[in-house]
């Protein structure tokens, strides 16, 4: 039975164990987020033979900020080392197409695992912990299926089965908080500086470029919220629920921004040093949109 720690579940990207799948499988087009066009299945011209990014330390100044936003939830290493048993798309070019398709499915499964694992750590959600555990075990089982099974898996159907549990978890965690209901709200560019958003329902809300400086987002449900360019300097997201690394990466924070312990403070946030050389922990998204926020958030 898997644990609930993201690292125990392999939900933190381990790019040393991946075949640069995010830099090959996904497309992007020239925009403010990517300097050039790239088709799905075409290796990024910055990807080296050893699957390292040749400009990793200069991604943002070189015109690839989208690559610093994307997060695969550990799907890359699972597909590379488990599903395809350590054989890369370069070693087995005949498997490339299927590997890329499976990567897209695996990322969605790992995203669900992230939410379920977090839900199991929330004490107010104890009434549904048993159901959450069963859903987590089933999702983990699916993630270990063969490539043939994963390629044909109806992830949307599985998500539809899991979503009611995540909704119930959110209700239990936010109960009594009298939080605002802004689910799916258009808050693009909204002036919310210092706003009290404790226990707010912000599922699928469009917070692109919103001013959330100093805002209190504790216990707010942020699943699917679009935080691209949102100003989070000094904001408190300490125990915001269902917040992901990609969302944090897409926003603009600073050293005073408080985030959940399971997440990493992005090095490109104001006042923080750029990372030293390491394997690429990011990659492209869908054409013409920032990575990690490729599509408009699902209204859950």
Q: Grade residue 56 by pLDDT with cuts at 50, 70 and 90.
A: confident
Q: Between residues 255 and 176, which one has the greater pLDDT?
A: 255
pTM over 0.85: yes
Least confident of 55-59, 90-94, 157-161, 247-251: 55-59
Cα 141 from Cα 208, distance rounded (Å) = 35
Cα 5 from Cα 243, distance rounded (Å) = 15
pLDDT in tens, 173-223: 999 777 899 999 999 999 999 999 999 999 999 999 999 999 999 999 999
CB 190, CB 208: distance < 8 Å: no
CB 128, CB 135: distance < 8 Å: no
Tell me, what's the pLDDT at 240?
Answer: 97
Cα 8 from Cα 40, distance rounded (Å) = 31
Tokens of 185: 């709200």
Q: Is 257 a residue whose pLDDT tops 80?
A: yes
């Amino acid at each position: 039975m898997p644990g609930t720690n993201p690292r125990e579940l392999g939900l933190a990207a381990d790019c040393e164990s991946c075949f640069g799948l995010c830099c090959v499988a996904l497309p992007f087009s020239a925009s403010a987020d990517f300097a050039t066009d790239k088709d799905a299945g075409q290796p990024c011209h910055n990807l080296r033979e050893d699957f390292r990014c040749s400009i990793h330390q200069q991604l943002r100044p070189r015109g690839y900020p989208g690559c610093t936003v994307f997060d695969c939830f550990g799907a890359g290493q699972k597909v590379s080392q488990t599903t395809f048993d350590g054989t890369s798309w370069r070693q087995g070019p005949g498997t490339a197409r299927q590997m890329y398709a499976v990567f897209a499915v695996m990322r969605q499964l790992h995203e669900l695992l992230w939410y379920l694992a977090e839900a199991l750590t929330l004490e107010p959600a104890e009434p549904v912990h048993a159901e959450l555990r069963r859903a987590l075990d089933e999702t983990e089982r699916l993630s270990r299926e063969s490539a043939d099974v994963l390629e044909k898996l109806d992830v949307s159907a599985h998500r539809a089965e899991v979503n009611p549990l995540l909704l119930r978890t959110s209700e239990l965690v936010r109960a009594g908080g009298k939080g605002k209901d802004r689910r799916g709200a258009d808050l693009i560019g909204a002036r919310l500086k210092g706003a009290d958003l404790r226990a707010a329902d912000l599922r699928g809300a469009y917070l692109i470029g919103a001013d959330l400086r100093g805002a209190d987002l504790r216990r707010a449900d942020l699943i699917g919220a679009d935080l691209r360019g949102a100003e989070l300097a000094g904001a408190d997201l300490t125990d915001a629920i269902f917040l992901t690394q990609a969302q944090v990466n897409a926003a603009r924070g600073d050293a005073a921004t408080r985030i959940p312990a399971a997440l990493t403070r992005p090095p490109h946030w104001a006042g923080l040093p750029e990372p030293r050389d390491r394997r690429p922990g990011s990659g492209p998204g869908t054409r013409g949109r920032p990575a990690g926020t490729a599509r408009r958030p699902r209204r859950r």
